[in-house]
Each structure stands twice: as C-alpha cells, then as structure tokens.
Structure 1
C-alpha cells in the first residue's frame, strides 16, 4: 500500500482533520515532487500530557460570556480550568458534532435529551469553525517545530493546502455542507475555494488504516470480504469491502451502516442507571461527577462481567451502603455494567448478521478500530458473537484511535474504492400523462391537473434515479429525462429557472411508484438549481388541441463520490451539452 512518488511540480501540503464526538486528531502529508508521500500525525498539542503517535485531544471548546473562545482541547480539561469556568461563567461546548446528525431512525428521546445543548448564540457550524481553526493552528505549530527550517517550509506551502475531512458513514450532503461552511468560517479557505476540501466516510478511512496495520495483502488478494467496524465516541460505522481477484481496487459489497451507539452512549446509559440507583440517596447531587468518573476509569478498564466494578469518585468519608457506596467508591455488579454496552454490541452483531444474510460474498474478517474499539469488553463480546458466524475479529495493535485521520489521507492520496452500494432509493416526483386505463392512475384521478396542449397530468409519480442496493462504479452516472411544457414562450422561460427536488426513499417497499404509498418513507435530500432559459424550445402539436412549447433536458447525478455532484444536460444540434448545477441539501 505504499504510494508512488508525487508527480506534481510544486510542494503541497494535505491536512486531515478527524473531528470526533469526544476526541479529535490531525494528520498531514507533505507532497514533495519526486518523493513518495509519507503520512505523519500531529502528536503534540497545547496542554497535552500524552506525547506520542496516538495523541488526540478532547473535542471541547469553552466560551466566555462574550462568546469568545477561552480554552480548547486538552487545555479545556487541565487542572484549574473547571474552577475558572465556574467563576467566570464560561460555557462548555462538547458533543457539538451530534447537533447536525441525521435524525433518521432515531428512537430514544431520553438519549437525545442528554446531548449537551450548544452555547448561547452559537450554532454547531460556529463551534466546528472554532475547533477546526484550533486544529489548523496546532498542525501549523507542529510542522514548524518538528521539521528542519519548519517556518520556511510552512511559508512555502500555506497558499496551497488541501483539507480532507472525515465523517460517519450515514452522513451526507447536509452534514458536509455544515463542515464546508465551518472551514470557510474558520478562515482556512475562501468561499470560492471549495475544491480544496474533500470528504471521506469513516468506514473507508478505517479500511485504509486496517490495510496498513493488520489486514494482510494475501487475505485481500484472495477476494475475502472484510467488515470494518469503526467504533468511535458518537457513532459506530460498519462497512464491508472486497477486493475482486486480479483488481487493484476495492468494492463496497453492501450499503454502509451508521449507528448512534458510540462510547458516549455507554456513558449515557450509565448515567440513566445511576440516576435510578441514587434517586433516594444524598449522593444524587453527585450524579454527573460519578458518571464522569465512570467514563474516565471504570468504562475503559471493564473486561469481565463476572467481577464487581467500582467507581471511585470521593474520599474515604463518603458512604451510603444502601446503594453500594463505601470509602468513596460506588460498587456495581459486572452484569449491570455490561448492560451499558449492550446496545452497542447488539447493533454491531445485528448489522454483521444482516450483511451475511443478504450478501453472497463470503465475509471472513472483522477489523475493530476507533477510540471505543480500544475497549476490551467490546472486543471480547464481538469475538464471542462473530466467531460462530465464521468471522475472525482483529484489532490493529497500532493506535486504533488514529485510524480515521491517517486513513483519510491514505484514501485522498490513492483512492482505490471503485464501487459503492446505494443506501436508499433516490429519485424525484414529477407529473406524468394521465392514463385512465392504468389502475394506479385511476385510483388517483382526484389529483390530476391540466397540462400544456390540453393534456391531463397526474401528480406524485416517483421517478427512481437510483435503486437501493445498486452497485455504483466510478464511471457510472444516473440520469432522468425531464421536460418543461407551456402554452406560451414567456411562461416556459419563467419555468426554466429550474429547482428540482431529489428525494430518498428509506421505507420497506420495493420500487415505490407514488408518494402516497408510503409518505413517511420519503424525505427530501436536496434541491438542484439550474437556469435553462437559454435552451431553444420546440413546438409541439397536441392531437385535438392547440400548439404548445416544450424543452427536454436531463438531470445527471454522480453518486459514487463521497459528495453528490449534479449537472444538467441537453441536446444541441445533435450533441450533448452540459452545465453544472448547484446543490442545496436539507436536514432530514
């Protein structure tokens, strides 16, 4: 998996930021003409005690009452900061990435309520921008200090920096839009320089890390399928890949999954359990502190549900034996602690079982990475549950919590994913000519509207651009032929300032034809805007009615790239012409 020498003419810097729910990291690569790229991690941060290849910082920002940043990352958890924040009314922003999360399938309002609110007058994009600015400055400082003539080196590269940002598997255009806006707001690029930012799913980034640190080339050359489980702070991303025999690229062999069951939800489950346990205890006032102590110690070292677990939170004087508190420690049964992890384990094993049921490909390996992947209990449970299914479970020994930022750079330098799997049905609603002989049309006759040329049109037809489960290659484009019609030219030209809505269908029906068959299964993904007023209209004659004008065009989408891209196409003198279209994404 070594990279060939860089063929560019000038030196260039690529920065990778992994903004996690609880911890974040940065990696970089200096591209020197004629030299093979080398990926390096930013391993020193202000106030960071741990110095080494696995160095990451807490994803925390403190703001003062004026909304100014006061402490970030490791600075925000050093001794004395909590007291200073209390005295001066500072507000802490944490888990802020989850405020732009997809809401599809979210069921636990109790869990959602535990996600900390954003600081007053701050959006998630604002906080992301401040945090990205901090990571950028840390990377700049690190490069300047650790490289020979580092300051001069930085000056030679600062005007041409590419940024690679990773995000959970289930995140799409809406979340990417927020990240891109945050990069601009942080001052890392101008608004016109969007091409300097690229995205990668955490599943793909983790695949590259696993290939470098654990998966043997022989395994992949045999065409054996591998499941990559990236267990992070907020999400658990599960992807499956295969390298076809004789190919140098990989294919996604099933739609990736993303679950909000990362390590922060283990803490939330513990908090809810402790709230019930301590409801009649004077130590209920210490609930948040006890939960924090569990998160920092007990959760990390837990590995055996047959042994009692202890949360040390106070002094030897703290005692309430009715709830299990003695000498400043709260005793919990190993079985109870295991229940805090249960949903995380369940979602992983359930996803792998579904992959095995629905795919002919032979999955043989499971690779566990991510900060939560360092949990011994999680590793043991997955080994116990997945081994009977025929999978070997491995965890790379080398810094699993740096998998995403390093892997994202690997992906950026040599993209080798040649096919992905569509996660949903994608399409748009349009009007079609009413056919009274069609039972589906007749059943919706009350929705018909008049069309150009005296035609009767039926609304609400779903045109499927891309079916769920479709294998989408690098070269594959999907298109839908559409038209605009009007009885006069002025009205037609006005209608050619187009806004086309693209919808996803995530329900259980196959090939839905109309919106009303499952209205809750559809949601608006994005709108595609383009002005086609320059296209020459054609005159059409409707039998038994008058003349009308019509323009034919196509919407062309590329779903394979991590970012959805759109164009409009039309025929001009026998040749296809295209123009880019702007895409605006909606929250789900």
Structure 2
C-alpha cells in the first residue's frame, strides 16, 4: 500500500504519533505528523541498520543481543550474535509476556519458550527494543521530513506512542509495556498514562486492510472477520459494517486469540528433525539449528505441499548419511513430514477461531499477518472457510507489518466505533432483553417465571 493520506485536513494541535508493532519474529514502526491545515499521512519506517532493504524494508528482526548482561545490539545488528551464540540473544521473547489464558491446548503447554539471556528480564528486553525502534524512527523522520530534526526536537516530549498488542493481552501486559516505555525514555512517569496508548493488532489490521477502496463486497450490515496470523498468535475479530460512507464498523462479539503462529511450524520441524537424527552424528543442536534456518529462509515462505520432497541445506559436500536422507550437506524431508507439521497448526487455528465466524454468520474474511503469507496456510484456511460458505478477501501489499501502519491509519480516521468487551467488573445485573440493543446476544437471554 502506498502511504495513506487522510481525506480531511487536520485542525488540532501539532503533534507526532508513533506506532510500534513488536512481533514475535519481526517488528515494524509507522508514524504520522499532524500539522494544522494539512492532510495527515501514514509513513512506515523503511530503513534499519545492519540489514539489506528487502521487499519494502518495513520489517526488522525482533531480536536483542547482550554481552555479560549488558545491551549489545538489536534487529539486523544482532543477527550474527544469534548465529554465533543464541544464549546471549533474546528471541521469541514476546512469548514470555503471553497470559496464561492463551495456553489453552496441549500443544501450547508443551511448547518450550526460549529462555532470556542470563540476568536479563522481559521488561529490560522491551526497554531496549523500544529504544532501538524509536531512535531509528527519529533518524528516518529527520531524513524524510522537511525540517525534520527541528520538528522532532520541538515535539519530542509530546510524542504519542501507540503499541499494537494481541487480542488476549490485558492490563498486566500493558503495565509491563508502559513501564518499558518509561525506562526507554519514550515517555515519563508523569505523562505515560496519556502518551502511551494501546490498540489490538486485529483492530489495527482492519484499518490497514480497509484504508483504500474496498470493492463491492462491503455493504451496510455486512458481517466479516479479520484473521491476523502472526508469529506466535492468531487473532480473530468479527465486525459488522454500520455504514459505508463514512465507513463505520462495530465488533460483533468479543475477539479470539490463540497461540498458534508461524514459530510453531518452525518448532515442529525442529522436533521432527530431532526424532529422525536421534543417536546420529548429526543430532548436534548447532547442526539442527542450521537445518531449521534453511527451512525458515528457503522452504517455509514458498511451501505449498505440491512437491514430493524438499532439501534443507546445512553443511558441506562431505556430510553424507544416506540412511537418514543426508547427501552432500543436504537433508531431504518429504512433503508428508512437512504437511503434518503445518496441519497441526492450521487445525488449531480452525478449531479455536472459526466458532465465532459461524455464530455471527460472517460472509467474508480478510487474512493478514506474516503467517498468512504462507501458500500452504493460506490454501488450508481458504478450504476450511469455503466449507462454511465464507469468501476470503485478499489485500495488496500483504508483506508489510500491517498492524503498525494500521494503528496510524486508525489515528487518522477511526473506522471502529464500538467494541465488544470480554469481561465486566462490578455486581451482576440482569437487564431486560431489548431486541434492538441485544440482537448479537440473543443466545444469552434467559426467561424467568
């Protein structure tokens, strides 16, 4: 998607809003500069140190390296550290913050979360990566905005920071992120309550997906869902279109979130290789990690299950063991072995997320997120949705971090006007049923004699 422009001129006070999507494997940042009398524009940070600008450059690895407990590098600058000594690198650290309510299945409970480097807390990791993301956002802003350095310096203490989080994250997780933002000097203790704001990844993604012309499918009262397939979570939110001009949406029911993203495929492949190579000279963790890296970089992005077998590169031409499928530094894995791994994750998505689609009689689904880029995952979800008579809507530029840019678009033009709460606080109140107000909760109505 080209940079989104607001249709109306801004008439509020001058300010900068920065949105961060710190994902399990990749992170992204977008921002906008609100200036009175001008059309606000969503811009994505597309230059990150220590890495080539691949695709659109909007993603940077969510890894942080340390040396003797002290910060060393982030993003692309920590890639070599991860290859040389992963024990000194915080990766997949988002899993440490997931609430227990997300661990609903046996697969989730068995998943071993990579430990953080010795002496490093989860709050410290978020502090370091937030500082890294903001520092590079400042550099990008100053080099792409006329008089950028002067504007940033003038507005630095009032910058609003919007953090995209999974649907299931709540007060505890937000408190950790807010404290990290304070420690990273993005905000102060005095203004953090005002300047640090949160948006669910699914709501940010729906703003991204619907920012540009939407075609004929979206009409008043249309019920549709956004399924955000990320690195460690899959978020599902169902919306009802209240109006199309202006576009106005409301959540039809509480959102769903399941721990079943792309890293679970990576771990499934790792476990499969460990079982096959058990007691062989190739069972070394370093060798297996090289095989998994080959899968992640070469096979996973294009895998569609149509070939009979696939080769994972890991060593030299002198590495041979025909009995376990190793020939000249490559190990051969069958399509069946890989589809079994993918299917275990897609089944969990279908089981956990599709119930709300059926209950709300959704007609369309928008697939976003890095895991949805997988041809095999996309096809599996399409087939499952087709059985429910639900059509999939494709969006352009799916390679971007949709949540970061979507969070900014939501600040420029808010589409979602009503949300469905997951829980309430206070005493129990039995309200009389009103079909106009409670249509979506008709199933919960009870008749008292």
Structure 1 164/336 Cα, relative in aligned 2: closer, same or farther at 3 Å?
Answer: same
Measured after TM superposition, the shift of residue 331 of structure 1 is 1.1
- Answering whether residue 188 of structure 2 is matched by residue 224 of structure 1, we say no
Match of 1:129 among 127, 130, 133: 127
Contact 1:304/1:334 (8 A) holds in 2: yes
Match of 1:464 among 428, 436, 448: 428
User: 3-state SS of the aligned residue for 1:159?
Assistant: helix
Distance 1:38 1:409 in 2: 9
Structure 1 44/267 Cα, relative in aligned 2: closer, same or farther at 3 Å?
Answer: same
User: 3-state SS of the aligned residue for 1:281?
Assistant: coil
User: 3-state SS of the aligned residue for 2:322?
Assistant: coil
- Answering whether residue 5 of structure 2 is matched by residue 8 of structure 1, we say no
- Answering whether residue 58 of structure 2 is matched by residue 55 of structure 1, we say yes
Structure 1 238/155 Cα, relative in aligned 2: closer, same or farther at 3 Å?
Answer: same
Distance 1:284 1:376 in 2: 30
Contact 2:10/2:37 (8 A) holds in 1: yes
Aligned to 1:98: 95
User: 1:254-293 to 2 correspondence within 5 Å?
Assistant: 254-285=253-284, 286-293=287-294
Deviations 1:388-416 (A, max 9, x none): 31112133221443210000111223333
Structure 1 128/315 Cα, relative in aligned 2: closer, same or farther at 3 Å?
Answer: same
Backbone CA RMSD of aligned residues: 2.6
Aligned to 1:407: 406
Deviations 1:342-394 (A, max 9, x none): 233123323454124322xx412111111112111111111222123111213
Measured after TM superposition, the shift of residue 54 of structure 1 is 4.5
Structure 1 126/329 Cα, relative in aligned 2: closer, same or farther at 3 Å?
Answer: same
Structure 1 357/384 Cα, relative in aligned 2: closer, same or farther at 3 Å?
Answer: closer
- Answering whether residue 421 of structure 2 is matched by residue 422 of structure 1, we say yes
Distance 2:445 2:171 in 1: 24
Contact 1:18/1:165 (8 A) holds in 2: yes
Aligned to 1:71: 73
Aligned to 2:441: none
Structure 1 92/215 Cα, relative in aligned 2: closer, same or farther at 3 Å?
Answer: same
Aligned to 2:362: 363
Distance 2:106 2:357 in 1: 27
Which moved further from structure 2: 238-247 or 401-410? Answer: 238-247
Q: Which has the higher helix share?
A: 2
- Answering whether residue 312 of structure 2 is matched by residue 311 of structure 1, we say yes
User: 1:54-453 to 2 correspondence within 5 Å?
Assistant: 54-65=57-68, 67-78=69-80, 81=81, 86=85, 91-104=88-101, 106=103, 107-108=105-106, 113-193=111-191, 194-212=193-211, 215-216=214-215, 218-245=216-243, 248-285=247-284, 286-351=287-352, 353-359=354-360, 362-424=361-423, 426-427=424-425
Which one scores higher on RCO, CA 8 angstroms, separation ≥ 6?
Answer: 2
Distance 1:319 1:92 in 2: 31
User: 3-state SS of the aligned residue for 1:238?
Assistant: strand
Structure 1 109/339 Cα, relative in aligned 2: closer, same or farther at 3 Å?
Answer: closer
Aligned to 1:24: 27
Deviations 1:297-333 (A, max 9, x none): 2211211255312211112221111111112111111
Q: Which has the higher strand share?
A: 1
Measured after TM superposition, the shift of residue 105 of structure 1 is 5.2
Deviations 1:136-189 (A, max 9, x none): 000001111222332223223212201110000111111111111110011111
Measured after TM superposition, the shift of residue 242 of structure 1 is 1.4
User: 3-state SS of the aligned residue for 1:250?
Assistant: strand
Distance 1:109 1:357 in 2: 24
TM-score (normalizing by structure 1): 0.68
User: 1:505-516 to 2 correspondence within 5 Å?
Assistant: none
Aligned to 1:452: none
Gaps of at least 5 residues in structure 1 are 429-462, 474-508, 512-588
Structure 1 237/52 Cα, relative in aligned 2: closer, same or farther at 3 Å?
Answer: same
Distance 2:445 2:91 in 1: 40
- Answering whether residue 39 of structure 2 is matched by residue 36 of structure 1, we say yes
Structure 1 373/148 Cα, relative in aligned 2: closer, same or farther at 3 Å?
Answer: same
Distance 2:117 2:18 in 1: 28
Contact 2:141/2:148 (8 A) holds in 1: yes
Measured after TM superposition, the shift of residue 34 of structure 1 is 0.7
Distance 1:77 1:224 in 2: 45
Structure 1 376/298 Cα, relative in aligned 2: closer, same or farther at 3 Å?
Answer: same
Structure 1 181/82 Cα, relative in aligned 2: closer, same or farther at 3 Å?
Answer: closer
User: 3-state SS of the aligned residue for 1:464?
Assistant: coil
User: 3-state SS of the aligned residue for 1:335?
Assistant: helix
Contact 1:205/1:408 (8 A) holds in 2: yes
Contact 2:238/2:357 (8 A) holds in 1: no
* Bigger Rg, which one: 1
Structure 1 308/46 Cα, relative in aligned 2: closer, same or farther at 3 Å?
Answer: same
Structure 1 214/4 Cα, relative in aligned 2: closer, same or farther at 3 Å?
Answer: closer
User: 3-state SS of the aligned residue for 1:118?
Assistant: coil
TM-score (normalizing by structure 2): 0.88
Contact 1:64/1:90 (8 A) holds in 2: no
Give every structure 1 segment of 4 or more consecutive aligned residues whose post-TM-superposition deviation is greater than 6 Å. none
Measured after TM superposition, the shift of residue 466 of structure 1 is 9.7
Distance 1:71 1:58 in 2: 11
